[in-house]
Amino acid sequence: MLILADTSCWIEFFRPYGDEAVRAQLLRWLAAGLAICGPVRAEVLRGVRKAEAAKIASAFAALPHLASVDGDWLTAEQKTRSLADKGYNVPLLDVFIAVLALRHGAVLAHKDAHFQTIAQVLPLRTHNFLA
């Protein structure tokens, strides 16, 4: 099974006192097909301490990378518009991450309520750490 962990999971994983359930599950998934994508990588590396960035980037480089295609942006734009028409303002990058997970057949692991909203317009398979 392919799993794409969202930024919200990686924050818990790398935070010194992060959510132990998230950390333990990500460690289990490392052997089962944990993947990364460009937007998640960029968001995580933007927020880490300078001294940790190279180590984390190296760890991410060892994971399968879910690449994007131009059509993913079009889908993200359309789905973001659909959500806005329903009164929801969700981050475009979250929608884009969801689109990547869907197109690659990955389960999207998250600890972010935006993905519950996004699931209204995309048939996502998720592992929700908020529940």
Report, as an integer, the average pLDDT of 95-108: 98
Number of domains in the chain: 1
pLDDT in tens, 43-65: 999 999 999 999 999 999 999 99
Find the farthest-apart pair of alpha carbons in the chain and give their distance in angstroms, rounded. 43
- DSSP of 77-110, one letter per residue? HHHHHHHHHTT----HHHHHHHHHHHHHT-EEEE
Q: pTM of the predicted model, to two decimals?
A: 0.94
Q: Can you give the residue range of the structural domain that contains 42? A: 3-128
CATH of the domain at 9: 3.40.50.1010
Residues 6+ apart with CB under 8 A from 42: none
Among 36, 114, 29, residue whose Cα is nearest residue 68? 36
pLDDT > 90? residue 33: no
